[in-house]
Amino acid sequence: MTKLLPPPGASRVKFKGTTSGVPTSPSINPVANGVRFVVTDVSPRATLLDAVIPGGSAWVSNGKSLWLYRNKTAPVAGISKIVLKSSVPGQFKFVVTGRNGSYLAPTGTTVIADLVLDPPLAVNGQCGEAIYQASTAQTCRVLGGGAELLCK
Protein backbone atom coordinates (compact mmCIF):
# COMPACT_ATOMS: atom_id res chain seq x y z
CA MET A 1 0.00 0.00 0.00
CA THR A 2 1.41 3.39 -0.97
CA LYS A 3 0.49 7.07 -0.77
CA LEU A 4 -1.30 6.52 2.54
CA LEU A 5 -0.77 10.02 3.89
CA PRO A 6 -2.87 13.03 2.83
CA PRO A 7 -4.28 14.05 0.46
CA PRO A 8 -7.10 11.50 0.52
CA GLY A 9 -7.92 9.77 -2.74
CA ALA A 10 -4.30 9.11 -3.75
CA SER A 11 -3.70 5.73 -2.03
CA ARG A 12 -2.69 2.66 -4.00
CA VAL A 13 -2.72 -1.04 -3.18
CA LYS A 14 -1.46 -4.21 -4.83
CA PHE A 15 -1.99 -7.56 -3.16
CA LYS A 16 -1.15 -10.85 -4.81
CA GLY A 17 -0.78 -14.41 -3.74
CA THR A 18 -2.18 -17.91 -3.75
CA THR A 19 -4.79 -19.37 -1.50
CA SER A 20 -5.44 -23.10 -1.21
CA GLY A 21 -7.87 -25.36 0.60
CA VAL A 22 -10.87 -23.41 -0.69
CA PRO A 23 -13.92 -25.71 -0.73
CA THR A 24 -14.97 -26.59 -4.28
CA SER A 25 -18.63 -27.02 -3.44
CA PRO A 26 -20.42 -24.79 -3.85
CA SER A 27 -18.14 -23.35 -6.51
CA ILE A 28 -17.21 -19.70 -6.32
CA ASN A 29 -18.98 -17.28 -8.64
CA PRO A 30 -17.51 -13.77 -8.44
CA VAL A 31 -19.55 -12.72 -11.49
CA ALA A 32 -22.71 -13.25 -9.42
CA ASN A 33 -21.43 -12.77 -5.87
CA GLY A 34 -18.34 -10.54 -6.12
CA VAL A 35 -15.50 -10.63 -3.58
CA ARG A 36 -14.44 -8.75 -0.47
CA PHE A 37 -10.93 -7.51 0.32
CA VAL A 38 -10.06 -6.41 3.87
CA VAL A 39 -6.75 -5.20 5.33
CA THR A 40 -6.60 -4.83 9.13
CA ASP A 41 -3.94 -3.31 11.39
CA VAL A 42 -3.93 -5.64 14.42
CA SER A 43 -2.62 -3.27 17.08
CA PRO A 44 -4.51 -1.10 17.57
CA ARG A 45 -7.35 -2.92 15.84
CA ALA A 46 -8.17 -0.75 12.81
CA THR A 47 -9.51 -1.51 9.35
CA LEU A 48 -7.19 0.05 6.79
CA LEU A 49 -9.20 -1.02 3.75
CA ASP A 50 -12.54 -2.81 3.37
CA ALA A 51 -13.84 -3.17 -0.17
CA VAL A 52 -16.91 -5.22 -1.05
CA ILE A 53 -16.71 -5.65 -4.82
CA PRO A 54 -20.18 -6.64 -6.03
CA GLY A 55 -20.91 -9.14 -8.76
CA GLY A 56 -22.17 -7.77 -12.03
CA SER A 57 -21.14 -6.50 -15.41
CA ALA A 58 -17.65 -5.38 -14.33
CA TRP A 59 -16.79 -9.10 -14.00
CA VAL A 60 -16.01 -11.51 -16.84
CA SER A 61 -15.19 -15.20 -16.69
CA ASN A 62 -14.16 -17.99 -19.00
CA GLY A 63 -16.71 -20.13 -17.14
CA LYS A 64 -14.11 -22.45 -15.60
CA SER A 65 -10.95 -21.11 -14.08
CA LEU A 66 -10.51 -17.39 -14.73
CA TRP A 67 -12.41 -14.40 -13.33
CA LEU A 68 -11.55 -10.79 -14.08
CA TYR A 69 -12.96 -7.63 -12.49
CA ARG A 70 -12.13 -4.34 -14.16
CA ASN A 71 -13.72 -1.04 -13.23
CA LYS A 72 -11.78 2.14 -13.92
CA THR A 73 -14.78 4.49 -14.07
CA ALA A 74 -16.32 3.76 -10.64
CA PRO A 75 -13.92 1.56 -8.62
CA VAL A 76 -15.08 0.39 -5.22
CA ALA A 77 -12.75 1.81 -2.53
CA GLY A 78 -10.25 2.43 -5.31
CA ILE A 79 -10.12 -1.27 -6.30
CA SER A 80 -10.06 -1.22 -10.11
CA LYS A 81 -8.86 -4.72 -11.02
CA ILE A 82 -9.03 -8.23 -9.59
CA VAL A 83 -7.76 -11.36 -11.31
CA LEU A 84 -8.60 -14.84 -9.96
CA LYS A 85 -7.15 -17.95 -11.61
CA SER A 86 -7.56 -21.57 -10.63
CA SER A 87 -5.63 -24.38 -12.30
CA VAL A 88 -5.94 -26.74 -9.32
CA PRO A 89 -9.31 -27.38 -7.63
CA GLY A 90 -9.50 -25.41 -4.37
CA GLN A 91 -6.46 -23.27 -5.18
CA PHE A 92 -6.58 -19.70 -6.48
CA LYS A 93 -3.93 -17.29 -7.62
CA PHE A 94 -5.08 -13.72 -7.25
CA VAL A 95 -4.08 -10.12 -7.80
CA VAL A 96 -6.00 -7.16 -6.33
CA THR A 97 -5.05 -3.72 -7.67
CA GLY A 98 -6.33 -0.33 -6.59
CA ARG A 99 -5.49 3.32 -6.99
CA ASN A 100 -7.07 6.61 -6.03
CA GLY A 101 -8.38 5.08 -2.80
CA SER A 102 -8.39 6.58 0.68
CA TYR A 103 -6.74 3.94 2.84
CA LEU A 104 -5.63 4.46 6.42
CA ALA A 105 -1.96 4.36 7.31
CA PRO A 106 -1.05 1.58 9.76
CA THR A 107 0.34 2.33 13.18
CA GLY A 108 1.90 -1.10 13.62
CA THR A 109 3.52 -3.80 11.52
CA THR A 110 1.18 -6.69 12.30
CA VAL A 111 -1.33 -6.75 9.48
CA ILE A 112 -3.99 -9.22 8.33
CA ALA A 113 -5.20 -9.27 4.71
CA ASP A 114 -8.32 -11.23 3.80
CA LEU A 115 -9.68 -12.06 0.36
CA VAL A 116 -13.24 -13.37 0.71
CA LEU A 117 -14.46 -15.28 -2.34
CA ASP A 118 -17.95 -15.89 -0.96
CA PRO A 119 -18.87 -12.50 0.54
CA PRO A 120 -19.76 -11.08 2.83
CA LEU A 121 -18.73 -13.66 5.44
CA ALA A 122 -17.41 -16.71 3.53
CA VAL A 123 -19.75 -19.02 5.41
CA ASN A 124 -18.51 -21.91 3.25
CA GLY A 125 -14.87 -21.19 4.10
CA GLN A 126 -14.16 -19.69 0.70
CA CYS A 127 -11.55 -17.15 1.69
CA GLY A 128 -7.86 -16.68 2.10
CA GLU A 129 -6.04 -14.89 4.90
CA ALA A 130 -2.46 -13.70 5.11
CA ILE A 131 -1.06 -12.73 8.51
CA TYR A 132 2.01 -10.54 8.48
CA GLN A 133 3.87 -10.30 11.80
CA ALA A 134 7.43 -10.27 13.06
CA SER A 135 7.24 -13.84 14.38
CA THR A 136 6.50 -15.32 10.94
CA ALA A 137 8.27 -15.38 7.58
CA GLN A 138 5.67 -12.90 6.32
CA THR A 139 6.41 -9.45 7.68
CA CYS A 140 5.47 -5.81 7.08
CA ARG A 141 7.46 -2.61 7.16
CA VAL A 142 6.06 0.89 7.47
CA LEU A 143 8.09 3.28 5.32
CA GLY A 144 8.16 7.01 4.72
CA GLY A 145 6.74 7.96 8.10
CA GLY A 146 3.59 5.93 7.46
CA ALA A 147 3.20 6.76 3.78
CA GLU A 148 3.82 3.19 2.65
CA LEU A 149 3.10 -0.31 3.95
CA LEU A 150 5.21 -3.06 2.40
CA CYS A 151 4.34 -6.64 3.31
CA LYS A 152 6.06 -9.77 1.99
DSSP string, 24-81: -SSPP-HHHH-EEEEEEETTTTEEEEEEEE--STTEEE-SSSEEEEE-SSS-BTTEEE
* Beta pairing class for 148-151 and 140-143: antiparallel
Q: Distance between CA 8 and CA 118 in Å, rounded?
A: 29
From first to last of its 152 residues, the chain has per-residue pLDDT tens of: 999 998 889 999 999 999 888 888 888 889 988 999 999 999 888 999 999 999 999 999 997 899 999 999 999 999 999 999 999 988 999 999 999 999 998 888 899 999 998 776 666 668 888 889 877 788 888 899 889 999 98
CB-based contact 42:112 (threshold 8 Å): yes
Position 95 scores a pLDDT of 97
Q: Report the alpha-carbon distance of residue 39 to residue 34 in Å, rounded.
A: 17
**Is the overall model pTM greater than 0.85, yes or no?**
yes
